[in-house]
């Protein structure tokens, strides 16, 4: 670290040159015996960093006109798609409020962690029913989308996809 004596004359010259718009390197050359970084540091300590010069223009987001609506296609009876088969499995009963556990810290490893109610209210609780994973059967069904693939959770498949097998 260099010890630069910033006399009042040098500070006045620095301020004048800086406010004229010279770069830190140019100011350092004119003052002599100081580095560009020393000039930058002194400018910041003096509060001269803002020269009142306009900053670089900001990018203005383009406003796109709204797209024209597509004409609706009339589906003829011959082109209709067959209806998707309905699920045959009966829904699993989901426990109603209030839950069995009031505090997340008191949930065991095999308890359903589904929140019930408003977290800000006194009646807030967690399901707490027996669970094989994070949630009980009913809440697990609510938490996952029907038809969502769980293949990526299989450790063998994950290793194969990662190229480790």
Calpha distance 120→143 (Å, rounded): 22
Calpha distance 136→143 (Å, rounded): 10
Of 124, 62, 51, 130, the closest CA to residue 95 belongs to 130
What pLDDT, in 10s, does the model give residues 11-60? 999 999 998 889 999 999 999 889 999 999 999 988 887 765 555 556 66
List phi, psi (to 5°) of 106. -95, 5
Q: How many CB atoms lie within 10 A of CB 131?
A: 21
Calpha distance 158→142 (Å, rounded): 25
Say what the pLDDT of residue 25 is. Answer: 93
Q: Taking 70 as the threshold, does the pLDDT of residue 78 lie above it? A: no
């Amino acid at each position: 670290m260099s010890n630069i004596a910033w006399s009042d004359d040098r500070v006045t010259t620095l301020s004048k040159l800086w406010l004229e718009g010279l770069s830190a390197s140019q100011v350092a050359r004119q003052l002599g015996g100081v580095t560009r970084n020393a000039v930058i540091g002194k400018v910041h300590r003096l509060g001269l960093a803002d020269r009142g010069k306009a900053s670089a223009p900001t990018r203005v987001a383009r406003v796109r006109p709204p797209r024209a609506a597509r004409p609706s296609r009339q589906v003829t009876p011959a082109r209709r798609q067959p209806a998707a088969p309905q699920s045959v499995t009966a829904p699993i009963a989901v426990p109603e409020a209030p839950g069995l556990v009031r505090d997340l810290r008191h949930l065991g490893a095999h308890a359903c962690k589904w929140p019930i109610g408003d977290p800000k209210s006194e009646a807030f609780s967690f399901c707490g029913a027996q669970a094989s994973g994070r949630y009980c059967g009913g809440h697990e069904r609510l938490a996952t989308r029907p038809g969502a693939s769980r293949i990526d959770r299989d450790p063998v498949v994950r290793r194969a996809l990662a190229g480790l097998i």
